[in-house]
Chain A
């Protein structure tokens, strides 16, 4: 087993954890998308088949699932933009850590707004 190096550019700190998060969210979104294209394709089977399957997305437990999915996408999207900035912006590598905090702050704000709206629409009323 290699011993732990005393801090490198990538290992062990914010840079590594943001990479782990980016990788996991990427895979989650990918598998969702496979299923999502299949469920949407039911519009070619019959209107009732589609409406029945989409009905499953409207129950309260699924509302939490959708919120989790959107949380994954919003993190992947904002952190993806951070990766792009690190690669293409002259000072990107220098400010990568500050940009990660910006990503997390924006993520919290976006998710608060999204969750309030989505959960009150899907859990409230009707």
Chain B
């Protein structure tokens, strides 16, 4: 199975074959590169996340509010989770964008699906970031500490 692809395969594209009028610059190339760079980093971040949360000690039985409080008391895990959140969401969103472009043939369907995708991505990234940095181990409502929190005695 050897196929030869005629060269030259790249270089200047004649104007009638250009799809976007050239206005997008090299966004697609940057996106392609980002998928690969973020992929390498995500292997470390996600495997580390799964190992610490599922394989160590009692595994999943150890996870509760106190477990999260313990991890996020340490800036190391805050930044670990922050990097994982942003990279995985941008990588996943760009991947799904590619898939939408592949299968949604009507321009209006494509636009609509991608609008929903980007809106969801923005909401999840902002929410996740907010949660990491506004986490409070001792939540208090109307002066009363909520049960299960870690309040100074």
Contacts and interface: CB of A to CB of B under 8 A. Distances in A.
Contacts of A51: 64-65, 148
Nearest to A122: B60
Given A34-B124, A47-B148, A51-B64, A73 B99 contact: no
Given A7-B1, A40-B128, A51-B64, A121 B40 contact: no
- Tell me if A's interface is mostly helix, strand, loop or mixed: helix
B113 interface: no
B31 interface: no
**Majority DSSP secondary structure for residues of B touching A:** helix
Of the four ranges (under 10, 10 to 19, 20 to 34, 35 or more), the interface on chain B belongs to: 35 or more
Interface in A70-119: 70, 73, 77, 80-81, 83-84, 87-88, 114, 117-118
B36 A34 contact: no
A80 B34 CA distance: 13
B96 A27 contact: yes
A33 B131 contact: no
B92 A114 contact: no
Contact of A57 (B1, B3, B60): B60
B61 A58 contact: yes
Contacts of B59: 117-118, 121-122
B47 interface: yes
Contact of B127 (A13, A41, A47, A81): A41
Contact-residue size bin, chain A (C-beta under 8 Å from the other chain): 35 or more
A61 interface: no
A49 to B, nearest CB: 9
A47 B146 contact: yes
A111 to B, nearest CB: 12
B58 interface: yes
Contacts of B43: 77, 80-81
Interface of A: 7-9, 13, 23, 26-27, 29-30, 33-34, 37-38, 40-41, 43-44, 46-48, 50-51, 54, 57-58, 63, 66, 70, 73, 77, 80-81, 83-84, 87-88, 114, 117-118, 121-122, 126
Q: Which 7 A-B residue pairings sit nearest by Cβ, starting from the closest?
A: A47-B148, A121-B59, A47-B65, A30-B92, A37-B128, A9-B3, A80-B39
